[in-house]
Structure 1
Amino acid sequence: MNDWDIFLAPYKQAVDELKIKLKGIREQYKRSSKHTPIEFVTGRVKPVPSILDKAKRKNVPLDSLEDEIQDLAGIRIMCQFVEDINTVLELLRTRRDLEVIEERDYITNKKPSGYRSYHVVLRYPVQTIDGEKHIHVEVQIRTLAMNFWATIEHSLNYKYSGEFPKDIELRLQRAAEAAFRLDEEMSQIRGEVQEAQRMFNRKYEENND
């Protein structure tokens, strides 16, 4: 691969465009006074060292990266409640400017580590000077609690290169279950939380008119 900047430019464009569109959805919900299923959105293009490392681990030739590695471009959507994840999924499935080509439910079927998230692979068209190019983008949809756990696990994974000491592994699994119980408890009082947020937003708008 001679020029990574040129190769990754369409992926960066896809990430930037999708972030704008998803943040736009969030703003539409806020203006309608409905509960927004999207708390916030982040995105990134996988760094070159990470691409090379994954290609080596997966035995993927560099000239096959576009077809065989689906997370060169990544979007993360954070939600307040587990129920919001299904709302976001429906929003993605019904859009006409992208195509959902694969779904992986790691919430119902958590990973052995305790990891929970819902992964969706999109086929997204990017307009370039050479014409339309379809990009694979991996979207991870998760609650704030799931994201907190995954962020900590990712840092520890980097430190231990995936070989966790047994006590750390057990603590992570317990923490994952605690995070999931937190999500379950928050779901039980979801109506109360949403009403409190609507009251706060109304008061904020009145004070800023």
Structure 2
Amino acid sequence: MPKYKTIADEIRAKILNHEYELGQKLPYEYVLCVTYHCNKETMKKALDILVKEGYIIRRRGAGTFVKDTKPENLSTRTNNRSLTIRYKGIKKVTTDVITFEVIPCDAFLADKLHIEEGDFVYHIIRNRSLDDVPYVVEISYIPLALIPNLKIDILRHSLYEYVVSALKLKVQSTSVVITADVSGDNEQQFLGLKAVEPYIQEACISYLSDGSVLEYTMDRFHYKSYEFKTNIISQ
């Protein structure tokens, strides 16, 4: 893994574990360079990652700060990422595993998962329904090294519950990018989309408490059934 990604992982972990508090100013860049034994260019790349992910903000003439916008409760967010947990006792969640294989990752996935190109990852596609109504196509990539003995039976239920309860891993945060694209065969067949109709996609990167990446997932929804809500607070 490139050194700047390792540094970004370590600083992210310190933010998530409150070694750097919300609103706190980070040490000067030259101090961070000494701490992490790197040059200025490497440190800039590491901090650029954290700026893009929304963990830190640069203020001209003042320095670099941990973003002081308090995030939503992370445990709630994690639970909401799991359909099985979110709809337990409310709706029946069924899962059809379309693809479950191990593949070497390309440069794109290596960048998302913060691993080396060529490292092995799980490639998983699941079609998931609520009360027998098609709801979402989930495409996931997970580093093999994190969960070396993953079984298909686990994927038919709650992967997150397995990660948290059985493996005792703490999912600390998830970054989400929402986009739309023209549907392909699987989205059209499962979600009932026409060839010219789009799906709405949530591209999610889930981080563990040590700053490493658990998975990169693309959740694809029918555009008519997708709804996004948030609160915007003026400061």
The two structures have a TM-score, normalised by structure 2, of: 0.27
Determine which structure has greater relative contact order: mean sequence separation of CA pairs < 8 Å that are 6+ residues apart, divided by chain length.
1
Structure number having the greater helix percentage: 1
Q: What's the TM-score, normalizing by structure 1?
A: 0.29
